[in-house]
């Protein structure tokens, strides 16, 4: 069992659970991803741009390197999502959100960012550009069928349940 301590608003919080272990290789000079608060679901990913910042014009997109390489346990994925502050304040988001990092991928984590604002946005080295959440998944076996069970909703699609 692991006791993790967080301090927020001058109060100590203790998490009393065994954490999942994810091996990480950090080839950047940024700190490792970390939870910023006791209740955070995701860790922040930082841009690895030691040579020069990236400027994104309106509607331009790019892959931002992080310098991080992961070994995610089988049966889990890492989801890469936008940071709400960057999205709301600057129109910067992850273009395929949420992006999935599979457990068998060993390459560098790179974040596909798009600028949806009307102004150029510059991403600096070490800037927090996205968040990463780990999730358990199940693989399925498909069973071909000629009919499916009936439900109240049936085949009613987008917007069929109201506003």
pLDDT digits 0-9 by tens, 110-163: 999 999 999 999 999 999 999 999 999 999 999 999 999 998 888 877 776 766
The whole-number pLDDT of residue 121 equals 98
Residue in the structure block whose two tokens are 């990480």: 24
Answer for the pair 134, 72: CB distance below 8 angstroms, yes or no: yes
Nearest by Cα to 130 from 116, 105, 118, 113: 113
Quick: pLDDT tens for 112-126: 999 999 999 999 999
Quick: pLDDT tens for 44-100: 999 999 999 999 999 999 999 999 999 999 999 999 999 999 999 999 999 999 999
8 phi/psi in degrees, rounded to 5: -145, 130
Cβ-based neighbours of 2, under 8 Å, separated by 6 or more: 15, 17, 18, 19
Helix or strand holding residue 141 (H, E): none
């Amino acid at each position: 069992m692991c006791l993790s301590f967080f301090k927020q608003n001058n109060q100590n919080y203790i998490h009393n659970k065994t954490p999942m272990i994810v091996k990480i290789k950090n080839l950047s000079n940024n700190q490792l991803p970390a939870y910023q608060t006791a209740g955070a679901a995701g860790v922040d990913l930082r841009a690895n741009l030691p040579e020069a910042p990236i400027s994104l014009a309106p509607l331009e997109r790019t892959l931002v390197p992080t310098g991080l390489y992961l070994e995610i346990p089988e049966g889990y994925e890492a989801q890469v999502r936008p940071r709400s502050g960057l999205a709301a304040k600057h129109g910067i988001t992850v273009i395929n959100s949420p992006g999935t990092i599979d457990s068998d991928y060993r390459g560098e984590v790179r974040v596909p960012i798009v600028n949806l604002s009307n102004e150029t946005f510059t991403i600096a080295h070490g800037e927090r550009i996205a968040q990463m959440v780990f999730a358990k998944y199940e693989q399925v076996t498909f069973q071909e069928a000629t009919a499916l069970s009936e439900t109240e909703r049936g085949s009613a699609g987008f917007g069929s349940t109201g506003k």
